[in-house]
Amino acid sequence: MIAASPAPRDSGTAAFVEGRTFDLLLEADLVLDASGDAATRYLANDAAAVRGIPLVWVDTAAGEVGAAFDERGVDYRDLHAPDAPVAPTDAPADVLGGSAAELAAAVLADPGMAGTVRAWDGATLQQRRYARDSAVARPGSLEERTTIPEPDDASSISAPALAKLLAGATTLGIHEPVPTLLDVREAPEVSFVSLPGAVHIPMGELPARIGELDPTAPLVVFCHHGVRSSRALGLLQRAGFTRARHLTGGIDAWAVQVDPSLPRY
């Protein structure tokens, strides 16, 4: 478990800040947010969603404790829209803290506890469960919910098709050259799992480093689930990379469809 905290005043303390959260979560099973900072709570929620682990939060201002798990169809954003007003309460911090610890253990034991919210009514914590409208479709992950439409077939490639290309001349019926692989994930993601031989240029550095790549060579760009790589593909195409494609489903699809021995996150 890891506790989320807002940006520190000194640089010696690890914190949840934009662009520096993934490496903190590689070994975590759950995020417990007691930051008291709304921006940190949304960041913790999104990081937990991408990592595929539950979030338990304590909001002392609102007198609330809750559990969310994006993979179970409910995250903090489902329960609390950004900028929603907060009604201050006098809920005792020790009661909230104890309830959060108990709820964290409960959601680890039973992920179905996601959507549980306990709110202070002035005397006790009252529990309710979030019920999603089954008539409203909701994909399971944050990246799926924020993805952009897939490019056409000429600009994308599946994991099995890429595996055949990488096998080169040993694969009958394949007459395309072996493409360069471009990994646009962040360094902690690459250190956790990678594809051999891939060139690593994080998405945020790609505009400045695009000159390191050959625009005339076949290229396949990939990320975690295909969201960042799809955006990177657009950048590459605008820069004249006419033979660039992106890996549909990212390295996660490769782990599922090609090499199940790879770790997933």
Query: Could you tell me the pLDDT band of residue 84, with boundaries at 50, 70 and 90?
Result: low
Q: Report helix angle 159-167 to 250-257, nearest 10.
A: 80
The more confidently predicted of residues 136 and 166 is: 166
Task: Give the mean pLDDT of 105-133.
Answer: 89
- Confidence bin at 244 (pLDDT 50/70/90): very high
- Higher-scoring residue by pLDDT: 31, 6: 31
Q: Which residue has the higher pLDDT, 144 or 88?
A: 88
Contact by Cβ (8 Å): 47, 18: no
Both structure tokens of 159: 């994991």
pTM over 0.75: no
Distance from C-alpha of 191 to C-alpha of 49, rounded to nearest angstrom: 20
Task: Give the β-pairing of 156-157 and 244-247.
Answer: parallel
Question: Per-residue confidence at 8, pLDDT binned at 50, 70, 90?
Answer: very low
Q: Which domains does the chain have, with CATH numbers?
A: 2-129 (3.40.50.720), 147-257 (3.40.250.10)
Asked about 127 being catalytic, the answer comes back as no
Q: Which of 113, 162, 223, 255 does the annotation list as catalytic?
A: 223
Determine the distance from the C-alpha atom of residue 11 to the mean position of all C-alpha atoms in its chain, rounded to a whole number: 25
* 156 closest CA partner among 219, 204, 224, 87: 219
Position 243 scores a pLDDT of: 94
Lowest mean pLDDT of 32-36, 44-48, 260-264, name the range. Answer: 44-48
User: What are the pLDDT digits (tens) for 177-236?
Assistant: 889 999 999 888 899 899 999 999 998 899 999 999 999 999 999 999 888 898 899 999
> Residue 7: what pLDDT?
44
Average pLDDT of the chain?
A: 82
